[in-house]
Amino acid sequence: MDYFTIKLFHIVGIMLLFMGLGGMVFGAYAGFGPNKKKIRRAAALLHGFGLLFILVSGIGMMQTLGLLHGDPPGWIKAKFVIFLLLGGSISLAARLSRAIWFLLALWVLLGGTAAYLGLHKPF
Domain ranges of the chain: 3-120
Residue 37 has a pLDDT of 83
What one-character DSSP code corresponds to residue 73? P
What band does 95 get if pLDDT is binned at 50, 70 and 90?
A: confident
Continuous H helices in the chain = 3-30, 36-65, 74-95, 100-120
pLDDT per position as a tens digit, 65-77: 999 888 999 999 9
Q: How far apart are CA 116 and CA 119, in angstroms?
A: 5
CA angle 104, 38, 8 (to 5 degrees): 55
What percentage of residues in the chain have a pLDDT greater than 70?
99
- Model confidence at 81: pLDDT above 80: yes
pLDDT of residue 16: 98
Among the listed residues 115, 88, 92, 116, the one whose alpha carbon sits nearest the alpha carbon of residue 104: 92
